[in-house]
Structure 1
Amino acid sequence: MINATAVEAVIFDMDGVLIDSEVVYMNRLRWFVRDFLGKQVPEERLLTMVGATGNGHFEAVREYCPPDWDIEVFRSHYREFGKDKPIDYPGILFPDALPALEWLKGHGYRTVLATSTVREKAEEIKALCGFGAYMEFVLCGDMFRESKPNPEIYLRCLELLKLPGEKCLVVEDSPYGIEAAVRAGIPVAVRRERRFPVDQRGADWYIDSLAELPGLLTGGLK
């Protein structure tokens, strides 16, 4: 049986875990295809982008784009579309995020960030939201050849932490992230998503708030 009380380091995903961004990103992509391309994307297609990189966003709507578009053309138009629609990242920071990180720091846990988001955007978000100060290091999707569900990002976390998987806990929300952590041999706690159907099977624990982490790590939450 997996023992959460043996954990020494907590590895956080960012989107859907520290910031409530998944719905925001889904809607932006929906509006881009609707307003820029004049098409409607089914909900099930949009769900495939949850936890994915920018490449995953393109793949989710590729069939609705002109046939001559590649990822770079998509990114160019998508960036232009979003210029006058900035995301208020501090406004979508989960209110339980900083208190949980503060508790972990105060109780001697090491905390790191492992996100599929590219470095430039991740640096911007963590600075705006204030959780960067709690992270021992940050790993981003564009540092690796493949993003989640490839376990490479989490395996690299273990190397840098110099800890075995059973001494760590990954906090995730997406099917890609869950699979990546499982393949890396690290126990997973998942923040439940109840607003839209996303496959969160395969985790070891399910939480509704990061405020539950202290109970999980000290044996008070089963």
Structure 2
Amino acid sequence: MPSPIRAVIFDMDGVLIDSEPVYLGMQARNLQTKYPWVTLESMYPTVGMSSQEYPRFMARLCRVPFTPEFEKELMQADENEPIHFPEILRPEARPMLKQLRAMGLQLALASSSPMSNIRQVLSECGLMEFFPVIVSGEQFEASKPDPEIYLHTMARLGRRPEECLIVEDSTYGVQAGAAAGGLVAALRDERFPFDQSAARFHIGNLSEIPALAASIQ
């Protein structure tokens, strides 16, 4: 009996690229001049947080009131230093995407990142050709764990939720994919305290995705 999976939808940060330690490291370094107790490890819980929850968590971590002035300070700390994205591309990503495409599966990207950042990453990593459908969280009022981004992506693909395998890593990303009705494969990462219990499958490497997609009944 052939697999019902017709499309695979990927998150970007933490899935295709191992970006989260890089982003967190930059933020921690920028904040440590004023808040020396802020460490990379203390920021791990922010991975996958919504844009609404993140600044409030950071205010507690920095031991200051949550104010517009602090939000502005956070935005300045979040300003990215130049990142060479091909260096943090997971080495198995391109072969895995080529294999999925050869299997005749539709591919899409659904990331909470701004569209400009998504396109920069895909372009610099040479992955743009694999994703005819690209969806950014900035298009929606509600962010993950709200399922809207995945429901929209499924509609763009013309697929039902049960035909879509979703590859995620963070707590909110996994919850968003599951709430959309897709079959979620969670990429394990022991560095972060993710709750991946809502995922149907758990994988240790992206290279497992083609066989998983083919085996689902």
Q: State the TM-score, normalized to the length of structure 2.
A: 0.89
2:87 alignment partner AA: G
1:29 alignment partner AA: Q
Question: Could you tell me whether the CA contact under 8 Å between 2:11 and 2:167 is conserved in 1?
Answer: yes
**Residues 94-113 of structure 1 mapped to structure 2, 5 A cutoff:** 94-113=90-109
SS at match of 1:48: helix
Q: How far 1:209 sits from its partner (Å)?
A: 1.0
Partner of 1:177: 173
**Aligned Cα root-mean-square deviation (Å):** 2.4
Q: How far 1:188 sits from its partner (Å)?
A: 0.2
Most deviating of 187-196 and 46-55: 46-55
Number of equivalences: 214
Q: Which runs of structure 1 show a deviation greater than 4 angstroms over 4 or more consecutive aligned residues?
A: 42-45, 53-57, 65-68
**Identical amino acids, percent of aligned pairs:** 35
Structure 1, unpaired ranges of 5+: none
Question: Could you tell me whether the CA contact under 8 Å between 2:6 and 2:164 is conserved in 1?
Answer: yes
Q: How far 1:56 sits from its partner (Å)?
A: 5.0
Whole-Å Cα distance in 1 between the matches of residues 57 and 39 of structure 2?
10
| Residue 214 (structure 2) pairs with residue 214 (structure 1) | no
Partner of 1:62: 59
**Residues 1-222 of structure 1 mapped to structure 2, 5 A cutoff:** 5-35=3-33, 37-41=34-38, 46-52=43-49, 57-63=54-60, 64=62, 67=65, 68=67, 69-79=69-79, 82=80, 85-219=81-215
Question: Could you tell me whether the CA contact under 8 Å between 2:26 and 2:78 is conserved in 1?
Answer: no
Q: How far 1:77 sits from its partner (Å)?
A: 4.6
Question: Could you tell me whether the CA contact under 8 Å between 2:165 and 2:213 is conserved in 1?
Answer: no
Question: Could you tell me whether the CA contact under 8 Å between 1:47 and 1:198 is conserved in 2?
Answer: no
SS at match of 1:213: helix
SS at match of 2:167: strand
Whole-Å Cα distance in 1 between the matches of residues 147 and 2 of structure 2?
21
Whole-Å Cα distance in 2 between the matches of residues 90 and 178 of structure 1?
25
Question: Could you tell me whether the CA contact under 8 Å between 2:32 and 2:39 is conserved in 1?
Answer: no
Question: Could you tell me whether the CA contact under 8 Å between 1:154 and 1:181 is conserved in 2?
Answer: yes
1:25 alignment partner AA: Y
Q: 1:175 to 1:61 in 2, by over 3 A?
A: same
Structure 2, unpaired ranges of 5+: none
Whole-Å Cα distance in 2 between the matches of residues 4 and 173 of structure 1?
27
CA offsets per residue over residues 169-219 of structure 1, 9 Å max, x none?
Answer: 100000000110111111100111023332222111111111111211222
